[in-house]
Amino acid sequence: MQFGIFTVGDVTTDPTTGRAPSEHERIKAMLAIAQKAEEVGLDVFATGEHHNPPFVPSSPTTMLGYVAARTENLILSTSTTLITTNDPVKIAEDFAMLQHVADGRVDVMMGRGNTGPVYPWFGKDIRDGIDLAIENYALLRRLWDEEAVTWKGKFRTPLQSFTSTPRPLDGVAPFVWHGSIRSPEIAEQAAYYGDGFFHNNIFWPTSHTEQMVNLYRQRYAHYGHGTPEQAIVGLGGQVFMNRNSQDAVRRFRPYFDNAPVYGHGPSLEEFTAQTPLTVGSPQQVIERTLSFRDYAGDYQRQLFLVDHAGLPLKTVLEQLDLLGEEVVPVLRKEFANLRPAGVPDAPTHSARVAAAQEAPKEETRG
Protein backbone atom coordinates (compact mmCIF):
# COMPACT_ATOMS: atom_id res chain seq x y z
CA MET A 1 0.00 0.00 0.00
CA GLN A 2 1.20 3.50 -0.80
CA PHE A 3 1.17 6.35 1.70
CA GLY A 4 1.82 9.98 0.94
CA ILE A 5 0.63 13.55 1.09
CA PHE A 6 -1.28 15.86 -1.20
CA THR A 7 -1.37 19.63 -1.23
CA VAL A 8 -3.90 22.13 -2.51
CA GLY A 9 -1.35 24.95 -2.33
CA ASP A 10 -3.53 27.49 -0.54
CA VAL A 11 -2.08 30.81 0.58
CA THR A 12 -3.84 31.39 3.89
CA THR A 13 -3.13 33.79 6.74
CA ASP A 14 -1.68 32.20 9.85
CA PRO A 15 -4.22 33.25 12.50
CA THR A 16 -1.64 33.04 15.28
CA THR A 17 0.61 35.65 13.64
CA GLY A 18 -1.72 37.52 11.30
CA ARG A 19 0.72 37.00 8.43
CA ALA A 20 0.14 35.24 5.11
CA PRO A 21 3.10 33.85 3.15
CA SER A 22 3.90 35.39 -0.19
CA GLU A 23 3.28 33.27 -3.27
CA HIS A 24 7.04 32.75 -3.54
CA GLU A 25 7.27 31.58 0.07
CA ARG A 26 4.33 29.21 -0.35
CA ILE A 27 5.75 27.65 -3.49
CA LYS A 28 9.14 27.17 -1.85
CA ALA A 29 7.42 25.64 1.18
CA MET A 30 5.60 23.13 -1.03
CA LEU A 31 8.92 22.09 -2.58
CA ALA A 32 10.46 21.66 0.87
CA ILE A 33 7.46 19.60 1.97
CA ALA A 34 7.80 17.30 -1.04
CA GLN A 35 11.47 16.67 -0.33
CA LYS A 36 10.71 16.07 3.34
CA ALA A 37 8.12 13.47 2.31
CA GLU A 38 10.86 11.39 0.72
CA GLU A 39 13.19 11.95 3.67
CA VAL A 40 10.67 10.47 6.13
CA GLY A 41 9.90 7.48 3.93
CA LEU A 42 6.58 8.37 2.33
CA ASP A 43 5.74 7.00 -1.11
CA VAL A 44 3.80 9.76 -2.88
CA PHE A 45 3.70 13.53 -3.21
CA ALA A 46 0.73 14.97 -5.11
CA THR A 47 -0.13 18.55 -5.95
CA GLY A 48 -3.38 20.05 -7.14
CA GLU A 49 -3.91 22.36 -10.11
CA HIS A 50 -5.52 25.74 -9.47
CA HIS A 51 -5.78 28.94 -11.48
CA ASN A 52 -7.38 31.24 -8.93
CA PRO A 53 -6.25 32.93 -5.73
CA PRO A 54 -5.59 32.01 -2.98
CA PHE A 55 -4.00 28.93 -4.59
CA VAL A 56 -0.58 28.85 -6.29
CA PRO A 57 -0.01 25.50 -8.08
CA SER A 58 -1.06 26.51 -11.59
CA SER A 59 1.66 24.41 -13.27
CA PRO A 60 1.95 21.02 -11.55
CA THR A 61 4.42 19.48 -14.00
CA THR A 62 6.85 22.36 -13.43
CA MET A 63 6.76 21.72 -9.70
CA LEU A 64 6.95 17.95 -10.04
CA GLY A 65 9.87 18.21 -12.45
CA TYR A 66 11.80 20.15 -9.82
CA VAL A 67 10.95 17.58 -7.16
CA ALA A 68 11.92 14.73 -9.50
CA ALA A 69 15.44 16.14 -9.78
CA ARG A 70 15.82 16.23 -6.00
CA THR A 71 14.33 12.86 -5.04
CA GLU A 72 15.04 9.25 -5.90
CA ASN A 73 12.08 7.17 -4.76
CA LEU A 74 9.09 9.45 -4.34
CA ILE A 75 6.18 8.88 -6.74
CA LEU A 76 5.14 12.23 -8.19
CA SER A 77 1.49 12.80 -8.92
CA THR A 78 -1.16 15.39 -9.33
CA SER A 79 -4.11 15.46 -6.99
CA THR A 80 -5.98 17.21 -9.80
CA THR A 81 -5.13 17.66 -13.45
CA LEU A 82 -7.99 19.53 -15.08
CA ILE A 83 -9.07 17.23 -17.89
CA THR A 84 -11.90 19.65 -18.68
CA THR A 85 -9.97 22.84 -19.39
CA ASN A 86 -6.52 21.55 -20.39
CA ASP A 87 -5.80 20.43 -23.94
CA PRO A 88 -5.41 16.61 -23.96
CA VAL A 89 -2.46 16.97 -26.33
CA LYS A 90 -0.65 19.14 -23.79
CA ILE A 91 -1.45 16.72 -20.96
CA ALA A 92 -0.17 13.77 -23.01
CA GLU A 93 3.12 15.46 -23.80
CA ASP A 94 3.71 17.11 -20.43
CA PHE A 95 3.27 13.92 -18.43
CA ALA A 96 5.20 11.74 -20.87
CA MET A 97 8.07 14.23 -20.58
CA LEU A 98 7.80 14.13 -16.79
CA GLN A 99 7.92 10.32 -16.93
CA HIS A 100 11.30 10.49 -18.67
CA VAL A 101 12.63 13.14 -16.29
CA ALA A 102 11.55 11.12 -13.23
CA ASP A 103 12.45 7.66 -14.59
CA GLY A 104 8.83 6.54 -14.40
CA ARG A 105 7.99 7.83 -10.92
CA VAL A 106 4.90 9.59 -12.23
CA ASP A 107 1.18 9.15 -12.28
CA VAL A 108 -1.67 11.57 -12.85
CA MET A 109 -5.06 12.21 -11.30
CA MET A 110 -7.76 13.58 -13.55
CA GLY A 111 -10.41 15.92 -12.19
CA ARG A 112 -13.06 18.33 -13.42
CA GLY A 113 -12.24 21.06 -10.90
CA ASN A 114 -14.64 22.62 -8.44
CA THR A 115 -14.24 26.30 -9.38
CA GLY A 116 -16.86 27.42 -11.88
CA PRO A 117 -15.05 30.51 -13.26
CA VAL A 118 -12.06 28.46 -14.42
CA TYR A 119 -14.05 27.16 -17.40
CA PRO A 120 -14.51 30.49 -19.23
CA TRP A 121 -10.94 31.48 -18.36
CA PHE A 122 -9.89 28.66 -20.68
CA GLY A 123 -12.64 29.17 -23.23
CA LYS A 124 -14.92 26.42 -21.93
CA ASP A 125 -18.47 26.26 -20.60
CA ILE A 126 -19.01 24.69 -17.17
CA ARG A 127 -22.25 23.18 -18.44
CA ASP A 128 -20.09 20.98 -20.67
CA GLY A 129 -17.99 19.77 -17.73
CA ILE A 130 -18.90 16.08 -17.82
CA ASP A 131 -18.86 15.91 -21.63
CA LEU A 132 -15.46 17.61 -21.70
CA ALA A 133 -14.07 15.15 -19.17
CA ILE A 134 -15.31 12.18 -21.20
CA GLU A 135 -14.20 13.39 -24.63
CA ASN A 136 -10.85 14.81 -23.56
CA TYR A 137 -9.88 11.69 -21.65
CA ALA A 138 -10.83 9.41 -24.55
CA LEU A 139 -8.47 11.44 -26.75
CA LEU A 140 -5.71 11.43 -24.12
CA ARG A 141 -5.79 7.65 -23.94
CA ARG A 142 -5.41 7.39 -27.70
CA LEU A 143 -2.54 9.88 -27.73
CA TRP A 144 -0.62 7.72 -25.26
CA ASP A 145 -1.60 4.35 -26.76
CA GLU A 146 -1.29 5.06 -30.50
CA GLU A 147 1.67 6.32 -32.52
CA ALA A 148 -0.45 8.26 -35.03
CA VAL A 149 -3.86 9.59 -34.04
CA THR A 150 -6.55 10.78 -36.42
CA TRP A 151 -9.40 12.19 -34.41
CA LYS A 152 -12.40 14.50 -34.56
CA GLY A 153 -14.51 15.61 -31.61
CA LYS A 154 -16.78 18.35 -30.37
CA PHE A 155 -14.49 20.50 -28.24
CA ARG A 156 -11.17 20.93 -30.08
CA THR A 157 -9.76 21.05 -33.60
CA PRO A 158 -9.37 17.69 -35.38
CA LEU A 159 -6.08 15.79 -35.51
CA GLN A 160 -4.67 14.09 -38.59
CA SER A 161 -1.99 11.41 -38.12
CA PHE A 162 -0.70 13.26 -35.05
CA THR A 163 2.03 11.80 -32.84
CA SER A 164 2.50 13.24 -29.37
CA THR A 165 6.11 13.48 -28.20
CA PRO A 166 7.87 12.19 -26.29
CA ARG A 167 6.26 8.77 -26.30
CA PRO A 168 5.46 7.27 -22.88
CA LEU A 169 8.48 5.81 -21.10
CA ASP A 170 8.96 2.10 -21.88
CA GLY A 171 5.77 2.23 -23.93
CA VAL A 172 3.69 2.43 -20.74
CA ALA A 173 1.70 5.59 -20.06
CA PRO A 174 1.45 7.08 -16.57
CA PHE A 175 -1.08 5.33 -14.37
CA VAL A 176 -4.26 7.36 -14.20
CA TRP A 177 -6.45 8.00 -11.19
CA HIS A 178 -9.80 9.72 -11.56
CA GLY A 179 -10.47 12.03 -8.63
CA SER A 180 -14.00 12.83 -7.63
CA ILE A 181 -15.90 14.27 -4.72
CA ARG A 182 -19.49 13.90 -5.81
CA SER A 183 -19.81 12.92 -9.50
CA PRO A 184 -20.86 9.32 -10.18
CA GLU A 185 -20.03 9.88 -13.86
CA ILE A 186 -16.34 10.11 -12.93
CA ALA A 187 -16.48 6.87 -10.96
CA GLU A 188 -18.11 5.32 -14.03
CA GLN A 189 -15.36 6.67 -16.28
CA ALA A 190 -12.61 5.27 -14.04
CA ALA A 191 -14.34 1.89 -14.01
CA TYR A 192 -14.85 1.82 -17.78
CA TYR A 193 -11.13 2.23 -18.46
CA GLY A 194 -9.96 0.08 -15.57
CA ASP A 195 -8.17 3.07 -14.06
CA GLY A 196 -7.85 3.99 -10.41
CA PHE A 197 -10.52 5.91 -8.49
CA PHE A 198 -9.55 8.41 -5.80
CA HIS A 199 -12.05 9.93 -3.40
CA ASN A 200 -10.58 12.93 -1.63
CA ASN A 201 -12.46 11.93 1.53
CA ILE A 202 -12.12 15.34 3.17
CA PHE A 203 -15.38 17.24 3.43
CA TRP A 204 -17.95 14.48 3.04
CA PRO A 205 -19.41 11.96 5.51
CA THR A 206 -18.27 8.36 5.30
CA SER A 207 -21.63 7.26 3.91
CA HIS A 208 -21.04 9.32 0.76
CA THR A 209 -17.49 8.05 0.29
CA GLU A 210 -18.70 4.49 0.75
CA GLN A 211 -21.40 4.99 -1.88
CA MET A 212 -18.97 6.40 -4.46
CA VAL A 213 -16.29 3.75 -3.89
CA ASN A 214 -18.82 0.92 -4.05
CA LEU A 215 -20.24 2.30 -7.30
CA TYR A 216 -16.77 2.34 -8.80
CA ARG A 217 -15.99 -1.19 -7.60
CA GLN A 218 -19.20 -2.65 -9.00
CA ARG A 219 -18.79 -0.93 -12.36
CA TYR A 220 -15.12 -1.98 -12.53
CA ALA A 221 -16.27 -5.58 -12.29
CA HIS A 222 -19.11 -4.94 -14.74
CA TYR A 223 -16.61 -3.86 -17.40
CA GLY A 224 -14.60 -7.05 -16.94
CA HIS A 225 -11.44 -5.73 -15.33
CA GLY A 226 -11.63 -8.05 -12.32
CA THR A 227 -13.62 -8.49 -9.14
CA PRO A 228 -14.86 -5.49 -7.15
CA GLU A 229 -12.14 -6.22 -4.59
CA GLN A 230 -9.47 -5.90 -7.30
CA ALA A 231 -10.45 -2.35 -8.25
CA ILE A 232 -7.75 0.25 -7.55
CA VAL A 233 -8.92 2.71 -4.88
CA GLY A 234 -7.26 5.69 -3.23
CA LEU A 235 -8.49 7.86 -0.37
CA GLY A 236 -7.57 11.23 1.04
CA GLY A 237 -7.92 12.56 4.55
CA GLN A 238 -6.57 15.46 6.57
CA VAL A 239 -4.79 15.17 9.89
CA PHE A 240 -3.17 17.28 12.57
CA MET A 241 -1.16 15.56 15.30
CA ASN A 242 0.53 16.21 18.59
CA ARG A 243 1.98 13.84 21.16
CA ASN A 244 -1.25 14.14 23.10
CA SER A 245 -4.69 14.81 21.69
CA GLN A 246 -5.51 17.80 23.90
CA ASP A 247 -2.52 19.75 22.60
CA ALA A 248 -3.37 18.79 19.03
CA VAL A 249 -6.88 20.22 19.38
CA ARG A 250 -5.59 23.35 21.11
CA ARG A 251 -2.97 24.01 18.45
CA PHE A 252 -5.16 23.30 15.41
CA ARG A 253 -8.33 25.06 16.55
CA PRO A 254 -7.34 28.61 15.49
CA TYR A 255 -6.39 27.33 12.03
CA PHE A 256 -9.66 25.44 11.64
CA ASP A 257 -11.75 28.34 12.92
CA ASN A 258 -10.20 30.89 10.56
CA ALA A 259 -9.41 28.97 7.36
CA PRO A 260 -11.74 29.71 4.42
CA VAL A 261 -11.36 26.09 3.29
CA TYR A 262 -13.48 24.99 6.26
CA GLY A 263 -16.19 27.51 5.53
CA HIS A 264 -16.69 28.91 9.04
CA GLY A 265 -19.52 26.42 9.49
CA PRO A 266 -19.51 23.41 11.85
CA SER A 267 -17.28 23.47 14.90
CA LEU A 268 -14.02 21.52 14.96
CA GLU A 269 -15.68 18.86 17.10
CA GLU A 270 -18.63 18.57 14.70
CA PHE A 271 -16.37 18.43 11.67
CA THR A 272 -14.13 15.71 13.09
CA ALA A 273 -17.21 13.67 14.01
CA GLN A 274 -18.87 14.05 10.60
CA THR A 275 -15.85 13.79 8.26
CA PRO A 276 -12.46 11.99 8.21
CA LEU A 277 -10.63 15.04 9.65
CA THR A 278 -8.55 13.66 12.52
CA VAL A 279 -7.03 15.97 15.12
CA GLY A 280 -5.28 14.10 17.90
CA SER A 281 -2.39 11.84 18.79
CA PRO A 282 -0.54 9.64 16.29
CA GLN A 283 -2.38 6.64 17.71
CA GLN A 284 -5.73 8.29 17.03
CA VAL A 285 -4.67 8.97 13.44
CA ILE A 286 -3.66 5.31 13.07
CA GLU A 287 -6.98 4.07 14.42
CA ARG A 288 -9.06 6.48 12.34
CA THR A 289 -7.18 5.66 9.14
CA LEU A 290 -7.51 1.92 9.70
CA SER A 291 -11.26 2.46 10.05
CA PHE A 292 -11.42 3.72 6.44
CA ARG A 293 -11.16 0.08 5.42
CA ASP A 294 -14.53 -0.59 7.09
CA TYR A 295 -16.39 1.42 4.46
CA ALA A 296 -13.96 1.57 1.51
CA GLY A 297 -12.65 -2.00 1.59
CA ASP A 298 -9.02 -2.86 0.98
CA TYR A 299 -7.46 -0.03 -0.96
CA GLN A 300 -4.13 0.87 -2.50
CA ARG A 301 -3.27 4.50 -1.73
CA GLN A 302 -3.74 6.78 1.26
CA LEU A 303 -2.85 10.46 0.92
CA PHE A 304 -2.94 12.91 3.82
CA LEU A 305 -3.48 16.66 3.64
CA VAL A 306 -1.18 18.27 6.21
CA ASP A 307 -0.12 21.69 4.87
CA HIS A 308 -3.32 23.70 4.58
CA ALA A 309 -5.21 26.37 6.51
CA GLY A 310 -2.21 28.65 7.11
CA LEU A 311 -0.10 26.17 9.05
CA PRO A 312 3.54 27.35 9.09
CA LEU A 313 6.19 25.30 7.32
CA LYS A 314 7.93 24.34 10.58
CA THR A 315 4.70 22.82 11.89
CA VAL A 316 4.05 20.95 8.64
CA LEU A 317 7.54 19.44 8.69
CA GLU A 318 6.89 18.30 12.27
CA GLN A 319 3.68 16.65 11.06
CA LEU A 320 5.67 14.80 8.40
CA ASP A 321 8.13 13.56 11.01
CA LEU A 322 5.24 12.12 13.01
CA LEU A 323 3.73 10.56 9.89
CA GLY A 324 6.99 8.97 8.83
CA GLU A 325 8.19 7.84 12.25
CA GLU A 326 5.06 6.87 14.15
CA VAL A 327 2.04 6.59 11.87
CA VAL A 328 2.90 5.17 8.46
CA PRO A 329 5.10 2.26 9.68
CA VAL A 330 2.21 1.01 11.80
CA LEU A 331 -0.33 1.54 9.01
CA ARG A 332 1.86 -0.36 6.54
CA LYS A 333 2.05 -3.34 8.85
CA GLU A 334 -1.61 -3.34 9.87
CA PHE A 335 -3.02 -2.88 6.37
CA ALA A 336 -0.69 -5.61 5.05
CA ASN A 337 -1.84 -8.01 7.75
CA LEU A 338 -5.50 -7.30 6.96
CA ARG A 339 -5.18 -7.50 3.17
CA PRO A 340 -6.64 -10.69 1.67
CA ALA A 341 -4.87 -12.61 -1.06
CA GLY A 342 -5.93 -11.44 -4.49
CA VAL A 343 -6.14 -7.75 -3.66
CA PRO A 344 -3.62 -6.04 -5.97
CA ASP A 345 -0.78 -3.83 -4.85
CA ALA A 346 -0.72 -0.16 -5.75
CA PRO A 347 0.38 0.29 -9.38
CA THR A 348 3.97 1.31 -10.07
CA HIS A 349 5.70 1.98 -13.37
CA SER A 350 8.07 -0.98 -13.03
CA ALA A 351 5.26 -3.39 -12.22
CA ARG A 352 3.18 -2.17 -15.14
CA VAL A 353 6.13 -2.46 -17.53
CA ALA A 354 6.69 -6.03 -16.35
CA ALA A 355 3.01 -6.83 -16.85
CA ALA A 356 3.07 -5.36 -20.35
CA GLN A 357 6.10 -7.47 -21.23
CA GLU A 358 4.46 -10.59 -19.82
CA ALA A 359 1.21 -10.15 -21.75
CA PRO A 360 2.59 -11.25 -25.17
CA LYS A 361 4.15 -14.32 -23.51
CA GLU A 362 0.78 -15.27 -22.03
CA GLU A 363 -0.86 -14.87 -25.44
CA THR A 364 1.80 -17.10 -27.01
CA ARG A 365 1.36 -19.78 -24.36
CA GLY A 366 -2.41 -19.52 -24.81
Whole-angstrom distance, CA of residue 254 vs CA of residue 308 = 13
**132: domain CATH number?**
3.20.20.30
pLDDT of residue 114: 67
Whole-angstrom distance, CA of residue 188 vs CA of residue 212 = 10
Residue 363 above 70 pLDDT?
no
Mean pLDDT score, 96-106: 98
DSSP labels, 244-272: SHHHHHHHHHHHHHH-GGGTT-S-HHHHH
Is there a cis peptide before residue 340, judged by omega within 30 degrees of 0?
no
- For all residues of the chain together, what is the average pLDDT? 94
Number of domains in the chain: 1
Residue 11 above 80 pLDDT?
yes
Which contiguous run of DSSP H or E holds residue 179? Answer: strand 175-180
Residue 174 above 60 pLDDT?
yes
Other beta carbons less than 10 A from residue 27's beta carbon: 18
Whole-angstrom distance, CA of residue 102 vs CA of residue 318 = 27
Of 152, 170, 98, the closest CA to residue 355 belongs to 170
Digit-coded pLDDT (tens) for 291-339:
999 999 999 999 999 999 999 999 999 999 999 999 999 999 999 999 9
pLDDT of residue 183: 81
Of 240, 245, 237, 232, the closest CA to residue 257 belongs to 240
pLDDT of residue 361: 59
Domain that holds residue 287: 2-365
3-state per-residue secondary structure call for 272-335: HHHCCCEEECHHHHHHHHHHHHHHHCCCCEEEEECCCCCCCHHHHHHHHHHHHHHHHHHHHHHH
Whole-angstrom distance, CA of residue 26 vs CA of residue 49 = 14
Residue 199 above 70 pLDDT?
yes
Whole-angstrom distance, CA of residue 48 vs CA of residue 80 = 5
**15 pLDDT band (50/70/90 cuts)?**
very high
Digit-coded pLDDT (tens) for 57-93:
999 999 999 999 999 999 999 999 999 999 999 999 9
pLDDT of residue 203: 77
Whole-angstrom distance, CA of residue 358 vs CA of residue 172 = 13
Strands 278-280 and 239-241: parallel
Check: CB of residue 213 under 8 Å from CB of residue 296: yes
